[in-house]
Structure 1
Amino acid sequence: MKNTFLSGCLLFCISAAPAFAEWGFSGGQTPNAFIQTGDMTLELQCDRLRFAPAGYPDSEDIVGKQSLSIRFMKNGSTEVGSFQAGQENATLRIVDNYPVEVVFQDSADYQFILDQIAANAILNLSMADQDVSYGLFDLKGSGKAIRSLRSSCGSTPQAGNSTMEAPEGVVYCGGGQVKRQIEYLILDKAQGEWDAIVTVNGETMRAMTAYSYFGNAQPPQGFVVALLGEDQSEFLVFKDGNNNWIEYGDYQYNQCN
């Protein structure tokens, strides 16, 4: 159940209390800093966050509105900053049937969020248009967990890893002043969250597939899948009859082999 957020009073009350739990860190293929309570979880990965609210209706509400207010508080009553995640700067979607995943278009935005989480006392995830909270989290110990996350993410293999096999199949060509050649491959066995690879002009990166990229809106005719690259790029794959193309940025790339 959503809790009404009152900026003029303490949030440490029964109806709107922050989640008291210790922050943890998990390394491995998908490093993450996290805090988990009986009914809510917040997970910070290298380039995105995942929030599992107390109930599935809240996940649906966040994704339906395509907005989430990320508020930083230095104590129980004083807000010192916020970030409004929405369609103009992030992709919000439900993953694994429950958590809301927020993928930021600009890595600087996510780094700002990590900085604020590490520096403050309370995190309030709420509706962007009104004072209604989806969840409150205690940030004690978050600084250490985020330092571990950043250290691990710095050593995570990046795009263009020479050990990654380049895809072979349909090739897409086009672009504006900068011409590009794009290929992709859906993997038979996912590597953690990454279940595809994309090659652009010979450089290969991991990607995540999104078949419900447009949320509740009707997808354009011919839409097949969205490929969300680990560098936060987005490739929309289309097939309509004998026509195959990819939309990337402001350009369309048509099959050329």
Structure 2
Amino acid sequence: MKNTILSACLLFCMSAAPALAEWGFSEGPSPNAFVQSNNMTLELQCDRIRFAPAGYEDSEDIVKKQGLSIRFMKNGTTEVGSFQAGQGNASVQIVDNYPVEIVFQDSADYQFVLDQIAANAVLNLSMADQDVSYGIFELKGSDKAINSMRSACGSAPKMAKGAMEAPEGVVYCGGGQVQRQIEYLIRQDTDEQWNAIVTVNGETMRAMTAYSFFGNATPPPGFVVALLGEDQSEFLVFKDGDRNWLEYGDGQYSQCN
């Protein structure tokens, strides 16, 4: 009986303890800061998080709930802040058959998460609706890895202003307090990752295309393509009959040419 109690205690302590591993940085074509344990991996990329929990069923659960609680701890027990990622502020999907990928709609939200990871001691990734952890990571050394990643992401080659010709096609206008004019062009003659060009109020940037609607089995009616800008912005393009519109941030932009 005593051995059974001790074994149960040991199992609970192991599951509740942070994954003790060194943070690393990989430059490569997609700079990232990462930490690996025996059965979990957390990867921070320039514009998204990839988390491979201990079991595939956990990945399925996160996507089914469409949410993840990112909790920042100054030690193993004291929470100093959190961010609830899910519908309304991020896309949550399974990629490469296993990891959960979280892409933030607002780059400021992601920068907040990175700041907190770099500043604290423990990270707890848990269910959005209850206090059950998918994974706990020690953050020692994360600040150095994140700084390296940010530096590499910021130094990624970008086309100078004027180097890209503004796209010519459907123009979208609208917005709330800030009015914008948005236009895009998908380059059919390239196999590069950045295969699209987006212009917002005369400022042109590169973007990549995504034709799946962030892991949802059925995209919304009229969905055509998602454009993921190099500044971490996202533009969702829709078409229904003769109506063309684009969603960016919290605003909807209708065809205006």
With normalisation by structure 1, the TM-score equals 0.80
1:241 CA displacement = 4.3
Q: CA deviation at 1:202?
A: 3.9
- 1:169 to partner: Cα distance: 5.7
Query: Is 2:188 aligned against 1:189?
Result: no
Q: Deviation digits for residues 5-38 of structure 1, max 9, x if unmatched? A: xxxx999822333222211111244221111233
Separation in 1 of the partners of 2:146 and 2:218? 38
Distance 1:197 1:23, change over 3 A: same
Contact 1:164 1:204 (C-alpha < 8 Å) held by counterparts: no
Q: Counterpart amino acid of 1:184? A: L
DSSP 3-state at the match of 2:16? coil
Shift of the alpha carbon at 1:44?
Answer: 1.2
Measure, in 2, the Cα distance between the counterparts of 1:86 and 1:97: 20
* Aligned amino acid, residue 253 of structure 2: Q
Q: Is the 8 A contact 1:198 1:204 kept in 2?
A: yes
1:129 aligns to 2:133 (yes or no): no
* Cα offset, 1:219, TM superposition: 2.8
Moved more, 198-207 or 112-121: 198-207
Q: Distance in 2 between matches of 1:171 and 1:52?
A: 40
- Counterpart residue number, 1:155: 155
For these two proteins, the number of residue pairs brought into alignment is 245
Query: Does the C-alpha gap of structure 1 residues 133 and 109 become closer, same or farther in structure 2, counting only changes over 3 Å?
Result: same
Cα shift readout 1:31-69 (whole Å, capped 9, x = no counterpart): 211112332211112232211222232222212212111
Cα distance in 2 between the residues matched to 1:145 and 1:185:
34
Once the two structures are overlaid, the 10-residue window that deviates more, 136-145 or 149-158, is 149-158
Letter in 2 for 1:60: E
* Paired residue type of 2:31: P
Aligned residue type for 2:66: Q
Bigger Rg, which one: 2
The corresponding residue for 2:173 is 174
How far apart are residue 183 of structure 1 and its match? 1.6
Matched, 1:101 2:101: yes
- Which residue does 1:60 correspond to in 2? 60
Counterpart in the other structure of 1:4: none
Alpha-carbon contact 1:246-1:252 (below 8 Å) kept: yes
SS for the counterpart of 1:22 is coil
For the Cα contact (< 8 Å) 2:34–2:41, is it kept in 1? Answer: yes
In structure 2, what is the equivalent of residue 38 of structure 1? 38
Look up the equivalent residue of 1:15 and give its one-letter code: S
- The Cα offsets for residues 141-186 of structure 1, whole Å up to 9 and x where unpaired, read as 112112212222332345x644864475632343257351412215
Match of 2:253 in 1: 252
Instruction: Please report the RMSD computed on the Cα atoms of aligned residues, expressed in angstroms.
Output: 3.0
Q: Is the 8 A contact 1:48 1:104 kept in 2?
A: yes
Equivalents in 1 of 2:243, 2:133: separation in Å? 46
SS in 2 for 1:14: helix
Structure 2's unaligned 5+ residue stretches are 1-8
The answer as to 2:207 corresponding to 1:207 is: yes
Aligned equivalents of 1:255, 1:57: Cα separation in 2: 46
Task: Write the letter of the residue equivalent to 1:254.
Answer: Q
AA of the residue aligned to 2:191: K
Alpha-carbon distance in structure 2 between the residues aligned to 1:20 and 1:79? 19
**Per-residue CA shift, 1:115-154, capped at 9, x if unaligned?**
2212222211000111111111121211211221222233
Percentage identity across paired residues of the two chains: 71
Residue of structure 2 equivalent to 1:70: 70
Structure 2 vs 1, CA of residues 181 and 153 (structure 1 numbering), >3 Å: closer, same or farther? closer
Q: What is the rounded CA distance, in whole Å, between the counterparts of 2:203 and 2:132 in structure 1? A: 44
Bigger mean CA deviation after superposition, 55-64 or 174-183: 174-183
Q: TM-score, normalised by structure 2?
A: 0.80
With over 3 angstroms needed to count, the CA separation of the structure-2 counterparts of 1:70 and 1:222, relative to structure 1, is same
SS at match of 1:88: coil
Q: Secondary structure at the match of 1:98?
A: coil
Deviation for aligned residue 1:105:
3.0
CA contact (8 A) 2:186 2:196 kept: yes
